[in-house]
Structure 1
Amino acid sequence: MTWILLAIFILGAIGFVLGRRKALSSADGDARILHSLPIYYGTNVTLLTMIPALLVLGLWLIIQPMVIDNAISNVIPDRIVAESGSRDLVMTEVRRLADGLDTAVARGAFTEDEAGSLRTEFTDIRARLAEVGVALGSDVEPEILVAAQRFREMNRTGSSVMIGVVLTLAALGLAYAYVRTHRDLRARNAVEYVILAVLMLASTIAILTTVGIVLSMLWDTRNFFLLYPWQDFFFGLEWRPSFEGGSELGLLPLLWGTIYISIIALLVAVPIGLFAAIYMAEYAGKKMRGFAKPLIEILAGIPTIVYGLFALITVGPLLRDYFAQPLGVGNSSSSVMTAGIVMGIMLIPFVSSLSDDIINAVPQSLRDGSYGLGATQSETVKQVVLPAALPGIVGAVLLAASRAIGETMIVVLGAGAAARLSLNPFEAMTTVTVKIVGQLTGDTDFSSPEALVAFALGLTLFVITLGLNIFALYIVRKYREQYE
């Protein structure tokens, strides 16, 4: 694949040079009489050389595995499928064995012809593969080996044909674009149409990805509610999943833990982040601002697992030893307060940076008018700047809340995994995201409600965060309507 892409890019570079040169040649070297700048002629040849070839290459890489898997799957005896439990498991073994044959050929255990035919005894094949570190399972049968041979052969043939088709298409595109190149060609228009198409494609992919995520969650959530009553899920007060049956999958304890931890995190992040933003925007000098702002934003680059370890090792024991135990309200280092404080620290740069940008966007004329009326700087900040920036600040806080609701690692290490309804902030609780991870890890039966509940939890969380984001955007837009 690396060599194919390199060849396409080389042809594209050659096309750029040839296209630019021909355009100038058709204008007798005078670029002023060209319709477009010379660079557009070269770019036009490059795009016509590379884009069709890359599109065909991408489609080929998607379609070829499906065609080969379908062809190989149809020749595998039903007996082997029944013994393995599913055709997918058999195909996984076929691919693994095909990779093993490639490894054996690369290490000299077989020639390419021997890997394609392998007329020797199956026991000898197993031994020769073992010599190069490719161990076959005891349940691998000769029919699997034959399927792996066919799989390799079809892959090799398909890859060879793909190389020929893609490179031929690139060469034809280069020749076609080169022949069309002349001084009256509207090269700039053609290049801009292609760029517009690429931008539209990128937007479409982003939209389709979102639609695909939502549809996948909706489908599995529908399957969950076919197996478990929706009333018990949305209004249940207990969370006790059991893959042996008799599960209680109530959402409310998880939702309460999520909201409780997020509220504490916002109580930490919003005052600190907002005050830091006001100081940097209104009071700090250029040197102090250039020093403090990057330091605060470093917090946003720390991995959440590091925050989780900080909560587990430092903050949790500190709160337990100096607050929870002396007050008699808890004995565990894992608590809502631990996760909330550490998550609040993580959210400080989100609130601070967004609020700082919003405060700086307030027109200077509002400040000057306030100063002209005799107000001090603190009075101007309190009575003019903050009211003008308030809708944007609220939007920043809501976006930070969405980030808090979706956090997982800090909660796992700082708050524990207990699903309960309690007002005590020094007790261990858990959130929706933690249980999504828990229900989808390990040996799970994805046809059971205990596994499918993760999709219902994910859809619920998606709706909550989507609502917060829409509300934040609504506030920001309303602010723009008032002050523009």
Structure 2
Amino acid sequence: MSAFAIIALILLIGFVGWLAGAHRASQLVRKEEGAAPKLHSRSVYHGAFVFSLAVVPALIVLFVGLAVAPAYVASSVRSSFPTEALDANGAVSPLSYELVSQLGRNLRLLSAEEQAAAHSMSLGDLQPIFQRRGIPIAQGIQPYMLPIALRADDLQNSLWLGIAAISLAIAVAGAFFGLSRIAVRFRARNRVEGIVRGALILCSMIAILTTIGIILSMLFETIDFFGRVSPSSFFFGTVWDPRFAAAGSGGAQGQFGLIPLLAGTIYIAAVAMLFAVPTGLLSAIYMAEYADRRVRSVVKPLLEVLAGIPTIVYGFFALITVGPFLRDISAEISGLATGNYVPFIQAQSILTAGLVMGVMLIPFVSSLSDDVITAVPRSLRDGSLGLGATQSETIKKVVLPAALPGIVSAILLTASRAIGETMIVVLAAGVAARLTINPLEAMTTVTVKIVNQLTGDLEFNSPQTLVAFALGITLFAITLLLNIVALYIVRKYREQYE
């Protein structure tokens, strides 16, 4: 039985409990009609109380079980590997574990009879069955992996049946307990409102808990990295040469200077902001102050379409259109000036990445600034115009100063978005970690190197891989600082209007 079916059964039990609770509350009034009793809460709240007791605890147990069971199965699988299959450190390699997992997935594609018969077969006997069913078999699977995969599959099925049975039992018990609490003066409404309030608090805590989880997931690996590499050489180093080491080597060779990556990140983001901020701000002023309703209803959605385009598409646009265009234009200019048609702008350069990223950021600046400008009260505009100021003077002297804190906040939030961009930089600026002030040359960013360092070696036991977490938490701190500054500016300089 699938998880969806279990959830549906739990909801069905809760719905039946809802109907039974509401009916029982109504019956209490009818039984004591002569005494004219009055329910503390309406019958619908009694039904909702029974529904909450039946559904909420059962779903919590179900989701916790679904989260914990895979980790328990993985731990059991890793402990089942024979000694000869372990590496020098006594650990199971990721490849071997993935092959066992793949074999387990293949076994689950067989029929129930074939899965039962697989316990008495060897790997060679199962291969014709897989071929007959059209199930691909990964290369490298060893005979000892079949018993491990079968044991893991049996353990997973047993755990799932236990979790499903416990969840359904809790749902039924909760429904009966809720029905037993129903009485004339039972405060069902207060209980239901308390449950709803708790659910709302939990939902509001998801963002905070997610942020804490992200920080902790990077913090421990970052501490491990700084235990192997000096923080001063990381934060103040000017050479990025990690020389990716093989898994398990534990070598600390290479240089992990952050400065070239941080400089590239800030440089490319600055070029993008130099293009996006004036364009987006001027378009916001036009839509908010000059465009009529019909033009605004067409232009604003078209401009915001840019925000919905995937960044990989912008990267392709930079790679095959903007970059070659700038390179060819520079070659023509060089030829006219010197007679030698040698381009001085590379196809992959800071300028290319900055321009394309700026196009992507225009709707962020425009939409946020437009909302801020539109929020300025009409009375300020009318007062300025009534004193004889022109529309342009009103915008410069009244509207923009009043909207300035919100505009600055929008710009800082857009800068955070630019700093975290990856795909455009990979395709438009390259992966060369260098220090240069020439915007016509290639540079790279922190996000690009995070992707590079996490490609291939996933055992997190060498500085060449752990450095990705140090880069990630550094980038997180930068964007967090920008967001804090934006919030501070908004709160300190925000205008209060009646």
Give yes or no for TM over 0.5: yes
Match 1:265 to one of 272, 288, 291: 272
Rounded to whole Å, the distance in 2 between the matches of 1:378 and 1:195 is 51
Quickly say closer, same or farther: Cα 1:71–1:306, change in 2 above 3 A: closer
Rounded to whole Å, the distance in 2 between the matches of 1:167 and 1:372 is 71
* Aligned sequence identity (%): 50
Q: 1:170 corresponds to which residue? A: 171
Match 1:4 to one of 3, 6, 10: 6
Rounded to whole Å, the distance in 2 between the matches of 1:44 and 1:33 is 18
Rounded to whole Å, the distance in 2 between the matches of 1:345 and 1:79 is 56
Match 2:474 to one of 460, 463, 472: 460
Deviates more, 1:360-369 or 1:296-305: 360-369
Q: 1:249 corresponds to which residue? A: 256
Q: Indicate the SS of the match to 2:268.
A: helix
- Render the CA deviation track for 1:166-220: whole Å, top value 9, x for unaligned: 1121112122222323453322221221111112222333222212221222222
Q: 1:274 corresponds to which residue? A: 281
Query: Which structure 2 residues correspond to residues 157-306 of structure 1 after superposition, within 5 A?
Result: 157-243=158-244, 246-306=253-313
Q: 1:395 corresponds to which residue? A: 409
Root-mean-square deviation (CA), in Å? 2.8
Q: 1:383 corresponds to which residue? A: 397
Rounded to whole Å, the distance in 2 between the matches of 1:247 and 1:415 is 23
Quickly say closer, same or farther: Cα 1:398–1:127, change in 2 above 3 A: same
Q: Point out where structure 2 has 5 or more consecutive residues left out of the alignment.
A: 246-251, 335-341
Q: Point out where structure 1 has 5 or more consecutive residues left out of the alignment.
A: none
Rounded to whole Å, the distance in 2 between the matches of 1:69 and 1:421 is 45
Give yes or no for contact 1:416–1:428 (8 Å, CA) kept in 2: yes
Quickly say closer, same or farther: Cα 1:83–1:447, change in 2 above 3 A: closer
Q: 1:54 corresponds to which residue? A: 59
1:25 is displaced (CA, Å) by 3.3
Q: Does residue 359 in structure 1 map to residue 373 in structure 2?
A: yes
1:19 is displaced (CA, Å) by 2.5
Rounded to whole Å, the distance in 1 between the matches of 2:191 and 2:332 is 73
Query: Which structure 2 residues correspond to residues 76-115 of structure 1 after superposition, within 5 A?
Result: 76-81=81-86, 86-87=91-92, 89=94, 91-106=97-112, 110=114, 112=116, 114-115=117-118
Give yes or no for contact 1:261–1:336 (8 Å, CA) kept in 2: yes
Q: Indicate the SS of the match to 2:110.
A: helix
Give yes or no for contact 2:99–2:140 (8 Å, CA) kept in 1: no
- Render the CA deviation track for 1:127-160: whole Å, top value 9, x for unaligned: 4445433637566235x43333332333222222
Deviates more, 1:127-136 or 1:472-481: 127-136
- Render the CA deviation track for 1:387-441: whole Å, top value 9, x for unaligned: 0110110010000000001001111111112222222211111111111111111
Rounded to whole Å, the distance in 1 between the matches of 2:435 and 2:492 is 37
Deviates more, 1:248-257 or 1:431-440: 248-257
Deviates more, 1:435-444 or 1:267-276: 435-444
Q: Does residue 427 in structure 1 map to residue 441 in structure 2?
A: yes
Quickly say closer, same or farther: Cα 1:219–1:159, change in 2 above 3 A: closer
Quickly say closer, same or farther: Cα 1:330–1:241, change in 2 above 3 A: farther
Q: Residue type matched to 1:330 in 2?
A: F
Quickly say closer, same or farther: Cα 1:74–1:419, change in 2 above 3 A: closer
Rounded to whole Å, the distance in 2 between the matches of 1:164 and 1:33 is 39
Match 2:362 to one of 321, 344, 348: 348
Q: 1:312 corresponds to which residue? A: 319
Q: Indicate the SS of the match to 2:108.
A: helix
1:308 is displaced (CA, Å) by 0.8
Rounded to whole Å, the distance in 2 between the matches of 1:441 and 1:57 is 34
Quickly say closer, same or farther: Cα 1:382–1:125, change in 2 above 3 A: closer
Structure in which a larger fraction of residues adopt helix: 1
Rounded to whole Å, the distance in 2 between the matches of 1:441 and 1:364 is 55
Rounded to whole Å, the distance in 1 between the matches of 2:55 and 2:455 is 42
Rounded to whole Å, the distance in 1 between the matches of 2:87 and 2:267 is 50
Q: Indicate the SS of the match to 1:156.
A: helix
Quickly say closer, same or farther: Cα 1:3–1:421, change in 2 above 3 A: same
Give yes or no for contact 1:324–1:426 (8 Å, CA) kept in 2: no
1:310 is displaced (CA, Å) by 1.0
Q: Indicate the SS of the match to 1:446.
A: coil
Deviates more, 1:463-472 or 1:194-203: 194-203
Q: Does residue 41 in structure 1 map to residue 55 in structure 2?
A: no
Give yes or no for contact 2:99–2:141 (8 Å, CA) kept in 1: no
Match 2:465 to one of 451, 458, 467: 451
1:266 is displaced (CA, Å) by 0.9
Give yes or no for contact 1:329–1:424 (8 Å, CA) kept in 2: no
- Render the CA deviation track for 1:47-70: whole Å, top value 9, x for unaligned: 111111101111222333344444
Rounded to whole Å, the distance in 1 between the matches of 2:268 and 2:97 is 45
Q: Residue type matched to 1:169 in 2?
A: I
Give yes or no for contact 1:325–1:331 (8 Å, CA) kept in 2: no
Quickly say closer, same or farther: Cα 1:79–1:334, change in 2 above 3 A: closer
1:124 is displaced (CA, Å) by 2.9
Deviates more, 1:377-386 or 1:93-102: 93-102
User: How high is the TM-score relative to the length of structure 2?
Assistant: 0.88
Q: Indicate the SS of the match to 2:312.
A: helix
Aligned positions, number: 478
Q: Residue type matched to 1:261 in 2?
A: I
Q: 1:407 corresponds to which residue? A: 421
Quickly say closer, same or farther: Cα 1:320–1:136, change in 2 above 3 A: closer
Quickly say closer, same or farther: Cα 1:80–1:20, change in 2 above 3 A: same
